[in-house]
Amino acid sequence: MEFTSTVTEKKQVVPKKKYSPVREFWVNFKHQKTAFFASMFILLLIIIAIIGPSIAPYDPYKPDYDATLQGPSSEHILGTDEYGRDIFSRILVGTRITLSVSTSSVLLGAIVGTVLGIMSGYFGGWLDRIIMRSSDVMFAFPDLLLAIAIVAVLGPGLNNVIIAVSVFSVPSFARLVRGSTLEAKENTFVEAAKSMGAPHKRIMFKHIFPETVSSLIVFVTMRIGTAIIAASSLSFLGLGASPETPDWGAMLSMGRDYLGTASHVVMMPGIAIFLTVLAFNLVGDGLRDVLDPKTKNE
Amino acid sequence: MSEKLLQVEQLQTEFTKDKQKIRILHGVNFHINKGEVIGLVGESGCGKSLTSLSIMGLFKGTSGEITGGHIRFNGQDITSLNVNEMRKMRGKQIAMIFQEPMTSLNPVMKIGEQLMEPIRIHLNLNKKQAKEHAISMLKKVGIARPDEVINEYPHQLSGGMRQRVMIAMAMSCNPNLLIADEPTTALDVTIQAQILELMKQLQQQEDMSILLITHDLGIVAEMCDRVVVMYAGRVVEEANVFDLFEEPKHPYTRGLIGSVPKIGDKRDKLDSIKGNVPDPSDMPIGCKFAPRCTQVMPICLEAEPTSIMLENDRLCSCWLYDHERGEMHV
Amino acid sequence: MFQYILKRIIEMIPLLLVVSILTFLFIHMIPGDPARLVAGKDATLEDVNRVSIELGLDQPIWKQYVTFMGNLFKGDLGTSLKTGLPVSNMFADRFMPSIYLTLLSMGWALVIGLIIGTLSAVFKNKWPDHLGMVTAVSGISLPGFWLGLILIQIFSVQLGWFPTGGAEGWKSYVLPSITLGAGIMSMLARFTRSSLLETLKADFIRTGRAKGLKESSVLTKHALRNSLIPVVTIAGLQFGFLLGGSVVVETVFSFPGMGRLLIDSIAFRDYPVIQSALLLFSIEFILVNLIVDILYSTLNPKIQYE
């Protein structure tokens, strides 16, 4: 008996109910209970960032020398700082600073990094080499040190913090996007678009960019946590927000001296930073599990 | 009748997914005699690999568990053994080789080190003796310059050589039973023949039994004494290899054999079996093969057939052979 | 193997050169005349000119770079504007405490991170996993300066177990290294877990079990050995995080190291010190990555022979 072939191995195809991508994402994301809860917290923070100044019970800037360094009470639920300013009001108002500084620096870094990454991956060749070698050079400076150096050059202040944090985000985004671009380039529809003579710009942004979006969303969320810590570290070091600004990092920095006597001055803004960063990290983990199953952490 | 080495009786194995138990094996029955080579065939997803993992007790890291039936090895029920007793059995009495020789060896460990592991655990040899034994095993499986190979890493060996190493490792403690799960699927055709030849030769030398899991009927015809055909987690036919190819009884077996072209065949198309293996969570009632069967009868859709003993000690689960309730159509 | 290391070292040279050029240019990127910055706000024009010649700022820029590099190789890092001391002298007694601090932090972070990550992977979806991963995600989300302040408050102020600052004796290293290592430990724990879970699915793990190995040897001899490769790589990449974090932690604990010197120098606009400190930090980082690369190649037999 002679045989030359084998039984065909068949894969079973189970038809699944089809949802739109957004709907499917939502259904899956809701199953991630921790991440869902954390995203609700972030939503709350965004609302506070918008309406914070109008719901703050006290003027966050106005000193009250009769009520300095008071512990939490019914009057000041999170206590007061060394100038008698209400810490709760300052945290509420500071939410806007924290969110806008971190989000804008990450988005700025993401935009520049994405453009560089797509070009690098799409065109390859010398452009790729230049962009990747430059990001190698930037990686040679540790993140926070690079930010410190930039602020040292530009001078302290929140705007410069945004620039510094976005600069050190650029190479990470460029690498990430370059990777997904190289993958997307292999897709048949990209080949097809190319063979039909579509202009490069169109292929890059109509065909390749959408392929990178899901990993970008995950990475942006994760980086916001990093950016909040970096920005508040710079403020803590006296390189960011000026001391009177109700920035969480700056509040902490000011409160250091009263650690032994009035620890709530340090505790409260610290808890605010911790919870916010934690929320972004948890949402990032959840998004990754839903959107980026390749890197799934199980 | 010859002595039974392994008896699988009414074996049921289940997985848990999303807190739901899904039964994959539904009462699998077969046995292996001493010195016999049994082929276990079927399409992917029919439960043939799971049967072998159940025998080995290799469920760690999965949700799989045996929920019914017995597996007797030399008369002893090994499903009732505890983890440690089972572990001492693996690699010593029952050894296994796998489909992917590329990934079945640890990439960061030297060949010698990996070979010596079972030798040292099961045979209580010291390092030097174990090393000698490892080298002699490599020689036995036909690896040239074995004393150099033991100091190499898997990525330095070819696929065929790696499978030889796997065989050497499996054979190192003189097992009574070797389970080979698609041992040659990932290899080139010429290498396939060499590996099969080696297995056959070692089997005869050591008077060992082999459970050969494959979907390649050519290999079955070449290697096996008896064949067990599985479909959807059940044994549908069992016969000695000559009877099976001469006159397959079960329509599924006929489909399998029909889908293999024979030399000199003038047909343009293969009679492949239409349709797909049913989803384990959504099984038809009645005979599981009925939806794909060309000889389906009303009863097939209502009740599951039981195993019927036919001439020459062969078994077949099909209503066609039940003279009371089914009809003869052959 | 030796060739591989040599190749890596040679590949590193252009990067070092670019980094040196960038740090050299750093002082020139600051808006305004560097000589004026150096001479101080109240300096007269004469003073500024004198400083300009003293620092060689009147020379063409490439010549300045050559001088800068020449001095660098002689170990001359310039003179501090604030103290008037050679920068290399200022670094001398601050360099080693910082190195000890980062190594201590990395050491405990690696050990504990590996343990937590391994336990989490082994007890996947059971309580040790949940506990480990809650600890890890919290550790990543904790700002270092805040953690440091809390530790000072509890262990120095209230319990009096450790000093609040300084670098005298092993006790003064405990709290700073806990603070500095917490983030890395958490990252490594998460990474170890996912890497180990991935490895545990590999075919050779099944082979190990089929051989009759004990589960503990499957885990340590086969799974961990494979997972260690990516974990060590990540640890090396995260070293930069440690160097950046050390600036913050040294400030919190008034620790006399390089990081705090950098921050103090920024406050005083002591540019020669800032410049040299940045250069030193990035060289340190590049060297660590080189070491990790070499370590990686010894751990991974595939690279060894290529």
Q: Which of B234, B280, B227 is nearest to B39 (CA)?
A: B227
Q: Are C153 and A225 within 8 A, CB to CB?
A: no
Q: How far apart are CA B254 and CA B216, in angstroms?
A: 14
Of C141, C243, C244, the CB nearest to A225: C141
- Sequence-distant (6+) residues with CB within 8 A of A108 are A162, A163, A166, A169
Given a contact cutoff of 8 angstroms between Cβ atoms, the answer to whether C258 and C216 are in contact is: no
C-beta atoms surrounding B77 within 10 Å: 12
Q: Which of A152, A233, A263 is closest, CB to CB, to C248?
A: A233
Q: Could you tell me the two tokens for B220? A: 């079955």
Residue from C122, C207, C214, C300 whose CB has the most chain B CBs within 10 Å, to mutate:
C207
User: Which of B219, B249, B220, B226 has its CA nearest to residue B237?
Assistant: B249
Region of poorest pLDDT, from A42-46, B31-35, C156-160 = C156-160
CA B311/CA C39 separation, integer angstroms: 109
Q: Which residues of chain A have pLDDT under 50?
A: 1-16, 295-298
A11: contact with B, CB 8 A cutoff? yes
C137 lies within 8 A of chain A by CB: yes
Q: Is residue C257 one of the residues assigned to a domain?
A: yes
- Look at residues C39, C38, C266 and name the one whose alpha carbon lies nearest to residue A154: C266
Spatial neighbors of A284 by CB under 8 A, at least 6 apart, are A218, A221, A222, A225
Residue in this structure with the two tokens 């080298």, named with its chain if needed: B135
Indicate the domain borders of chain A.
32-49+64-293
B162 touches chain C (CB under 8 A): no
Residue closest to A224 by CA, chosen among A294, A278, A292: A278
The residue written with tokens 């007694």 in the block is C93
Q: Give the other-Cβ count within 10 Å of A47's Cβ.
A: 12
Six token digits for residue C110: 């690696």
Share of chain B above pLDDT 70, in %: 93
- Specify the DSSP element, H or E, that contains C252: helix C239-252
User: Do residue B272 and residue A9 have CB atoms under 8 angstroms apart?
Assistant: no
| pLDDT of res. A12 | 41
B106, B137, B213: best to mutate for the C interface, most C CBs within 10 A: B106
Query: What span, in angstroms and rounded, lies between the C-alpha atoms of B250 and B244?
Result: 10
User: Which of C21, C123, C141, C156 is most worth mutating to test chain A (most A CB atoms within 10 A of its CB)?
Assistant: C141
pLDDT of residue B327: 53
Any A CB within 8 A of C274 CB: yes
For C92-123, the pLDDT digits (tens) are 888 888 988 999 999 999 999 999 999 999 88
A62, HSE (Cβ side, Cα atoms, 13 Å):
7
A27 alpha-carbon distance from chain centroid: 23
Nearest Cα neighbor of B179 from B209, B134, B222 is B209
CA pair distance B138, B150, nearest whole angstrom: 9
Residue A15, chain B, CB below 8 Å: the answer is no
Domain A32-49+64-293 has CATH 2.30.110.10: no
ipTM value > 0.95: no
- B199 pLDDT exceeds 50? yes
Interface check B3 vs A, CB under 8 A = no
Half-sphere exposure of C292 (CA within 13 A, CB side): 19
Smallest CA-to-CA distance from C173 within C262, C106, C264 is with C106
Indicate whether B229 pLDDT > 60: yes
Which residues numbered 40-69 in B keep a CB inside 8 Å of some CB on A? Answer: 41, 43-45
Q: What is the CATH number of the domain that holds C257?
A: 1.10.3720.10
Q: What is the pLDDT of residues B135-178, one digit of tens each?
A: 998 988 888 888 899 999 888 888 888 888 998 898 888 899 99
Residue among B213, B244, B248 at smallest CA distance from B226: B244
- Within 8 A by CB and 6+ apart from B57, the residues are B78, B81, B86, B89, B90
Residues of A in contact with C124 (CB under 8 A): 298
Quick: pLDDT tens for B79-130: 888 888 888 888 889 999 888 878 899 888 889 989 999 998 888 888 899 9
Q: Are strands B37-41 and B209-214 parallel, antiparallel or unpaired?
A: parallel
b/e burial code for range B132-164 (CB count within 10 A of at least 16 → b): ebbbebbebbbbeebeebbebbbebbebbbbbb
Residue A294 identity? K
pLDDT confidence tier of residue C34, bands split at 50, 70 and 90: low
- Enumerate helices (H) and strands (E) in chain B, giving the number of each: 10, 12
Tell me the shortest Cα–Cα distance from B88 to chain C, in angstroms: 6
- pLDDT tier at B325, thresholds 50, 70, 90: low
Residues on chain A touching C22 (C-beta within 8 angstroms): 137
Residues 6+ apart with CB under 8 A from A19: A27
C146 touches chain A (CB under 8 A): yes
Interface of B with A in 235-264 (CB under 8 A): 245, 256, 259-263
> What's residue C181's pLDDT?
92
| Alpha helices, H only, chain B | 48-56, 83-89, 111-123, 127-140, 146-149, 159-171, 189-206, 217-223, 241-246, 251-258
- Out of A1, A2, A9, closest to residue B43 by CB: A9
Residues 6+ apart with CB under 8 A from C201: B61
Looking at residue A166, its pLDDT comes to 93
Per-residue pLDDT, B317: 85
Are residues C248 and A237 in contact, defined by beta-carbon separation less than 8 angstroms? yes
Q: Distance between CA atoms of B114 and B118, rounded to whole angstroms?
A: 8
Q: Which tokens belong to B144?
A: 């040239």
pTM of the predicted structure, to 2 decimals? 0.82
> Which residues 277-296 in chain B show a CB within 8 A of chain A?
277, 279
Give CA–CA dist C99/C96, Å, rounded: 5
Work out the pLDDT band at B324, boundaries 50, 70, 90: low
Residue C225 CA to residue C235 CA, distance in Å, equals: 15
Query: Which positions in chain A touch B260 (Cβ < 8 Å)?
Result: 3-7
How far apart are the CA of A152 and the nearest CA of chain B, in angstroms?
46
Q: How many domains does chain C have?
A: 1
Residues of A in contact with B279 (CB under 8 A): 12, 14
In sequence order, what DSSP letters do the residues of B197-257 get, joined into one string?
HHHHHHHHHHT-EEEEEES-HHHHHHH-SEEEEEETTEEEEEEEHHHHHHS--SHHHHHHH
Look up the domain containing C199 and give its range: 87-299
Contacts of C31 in chain A (CB under 8 A): 153
Question: Would you say residue C154 has pLDDT above 70?
Answer: yes
Nearest to A70 by CA among A261, A269, A272, A271: A261
Q: What is the pLDDT of residue A13?
A: 42
Chain A residues within an 8 Å CB radius of C244: 142-145, 147-148
- Across the interface, which of C19, C124, C274 has its CB nearest the CB of A140? C19
Going by their DSSP bridges, the two strands B4-17 and B20-33 should be labelled as antiparallel
A298 touches chain B (CB under 8 A): no
Q: How many Å lie between the alpha carbon of C146 and the closest alpha carbon of chain A?
A: 6
C201 assigned to some structural domain: yes
Instruction: Assign B266 a pLDDT band (cuts: 50, 70, 90).
Output: low
Query: Domain map of chain B by residue range?
Result: 4-93+175-274, 103-174
Question: Per CB distance under 8 Å, which residues of C are interface residues toward B?
Answer: 200-215, 217, 221-222, 225-226, 229, 299-302, 305
Evaluate if residue B262 carries a pLDDT over 70: no
Element (H, E) at C151: helix C144-151
Nearest C-alpha neighbor of A238 from the set C148, C268, C178, C29? C268
CA distance C238 to chain B (A): 24
Structure tokens at B298: 């009303």
CATH class for domain B4-93+175-274?
A: alpha beta
Instruction: Tell me the shortest Cα–Cα distance from A110 to chain B, in angstroms.
Output: 37
Residue-wise pLDDT for C219-266, tens only, equals 888 898 888 888 888 888 788 788 888 999 998 888 888 888 888 888
Six-digit token pair at A66?
């009769």
Q: Which of A99, A44, A35 is nearest to A283 (CA)?
A: A35
Residue A45 has phi, psi (to 5 degrees) of -60, -40
Angle at C204 between CA C201 and CA C210, to 5 degrees: 100
CB–CB contact A1 B216 (8 Å): no
The shortest C-alpha distance from B44 to chain C (Å) reads 18
Q: A80: which DSSP letter?
A: B
Establish how many alpha carbons lie within 13 A of residue A290's alpha carbon, considering only the half-sphere containing its beta carbon. 23
C140 touches chain A (CB under 8 A): yes
